[in-house]
Amino acid sequence: MTPDQYCQDKAAKSGSSFYYSFLFLPPPQRQAITALYAFCREVDDVVDECTDTNVARIKLQWWREEVGRLFTGTSRHPVGQALAAATAAYNLPQEHFQEIINGMEMDLDHQGYASFNDLALYCHRVASIVGLMSVEIFGYQDRNTLKYAHDLGMAFQLTNILRDVREDAMLGRIYLPLDELERFGVTPEDIMQSHTTDNMRELFKFQAQRAHQYYTQAYSHLPDIDRYPQRSGLIMSEIYLSTLEEIEKDGFNVLERRISLTPLRKLWIAWRTARHEKSRYKKFAKNKCMSSS
């Protein structure tokens, strides 16, 4: 199995929404984003699958060293080897890879987040940094697109936190800000239960509203000239937004069941969004051509 095949297999098996957005990219960009996604999965799996935090820290330290080897051309892992081409072709700073690992390591020390400001740092590291790297791979002309990437990453992570609140709690991790739990009369122990009370619904509704705000902010930053190059991010956004809307339609019963979209529906959303963005780009290009003539 080649390094690229390893990454492709890692992405396909995950069933993630990200995988469906990769399908509409040219091969070089698809290879790069798939390798980046595989890196994120590898370091995330270290935290999720290691029951001994000391072992997890050792493994994360190995990945820190592997990132260093990546930038000296001496990678040992298939993911590091696959990333070599991506780091050479795109602006993927070494510091960004280290920041992602920093975010994963925060889970090993997890004792809750006192406020949203504290949670925002975690979201920035594990999601917004990935968004900023993805933007570099997809390509952009306007630097406002970087603001779009940051806010979209925040929106994705907030959606994930709401979707996964029950299974995260079972792992002893509560990502909802503790001051907001208190404001809505909910305790961490309540989150450990499998029954959603009215107070919890109001808390979850508040979290969903914040996620929607970040989606709106992200879209406001994305200039027309960069929409088509960033179509993969927009595909992901439509899938994540659909998941958030399903949670809302279900009455925020996230403690009783995990809401997820079927692979067929994800593929349909991906195809529909790609088609829409292509049509929109053709109109944009035509209008630009007419205005310059």
pLDDT 10s digit of each residue in the chain, 293 long?
A: 899 999 988 887 766 677 778 888 899 999 999 999 999 999 999 988 888 899 999 999 999 999 999 999 999 999 999 999 999 899 899 999 999 999 999 999 877 899 999 999 999 999 999 999 999 999 999 999 999 999 999 999 999 999 999 989 888 889 999 999 999 999 998 998 888 999 999 999 999 999 999 999 999 999 999 999 999 999 999 999 999 999 999 999 999 988 999 989 999 999 999 999 989 988 887 777 766 65
At 10 the pLDDT is 85
Homologous superfamily (CATH) of 1-95 is: Farnesyl Diphosphate Synthase (1.10.600.10)
Cα Rg of the chain (Å, integer): 20
DSSP 58-85: HHHHHHHHHHHHHTTT---SHHHHHHHH
At 67 the pLDDT is 96
Helix residue spans in the chain (DSSP H): 3-14, 17-22, 27-49, 53-70, 78-89, 94-108, 116-123, 129-138, 144-163, 165-170, 178-183, 188-191, 198-221, 224-227, 231-249, 263-292
What 3-state DSSP class applies to 193?
Answer: coil
Mapping DSSP onto H, E and C, the string for 207-250 reads HHHHHHHHHHHHHHHCCHHHHCCCHHHHHHHHHHHHHHHHHHHC
**Integer Cα distance of 238 and 20 in angstroms:** 11
**Integer Cα distance of 13 and 37 in angstroms:** 12
Residue 156 burial by Cβ neighbours in a 10 Å radius (0-12, 13-18, 19+): buried
Q: Where in the chain is CATH 1.10.600.10?
A: 1-95, 110-265
User: Is residue 284 within 8 Å of 227, Cβ to Cβ?
Assistant: yes
pLDDT in tens, 271-284: 999 999 989 988 88
239 contacts: CB under 8 Å, gap ≥ 6: 17, 20, 21, 261, 266, 269, 270
At 290 the pLDDT is 66
pLDDT in tens, 193-236: 888 999 999 999 999 999 999 999 999 999 999 999 999 999 99
CATH, range 110-265: 1.10.600.10
At 281 the pLDDT is 82
At 28 the pLDDT is 92
User: Is residue 33 within 8 Å of 133, Cβ to Cβ?
Assistant: no
**Integer Cα distance of 285 and 112 in angstroms:** 48
At 9 the pLDDT is 87
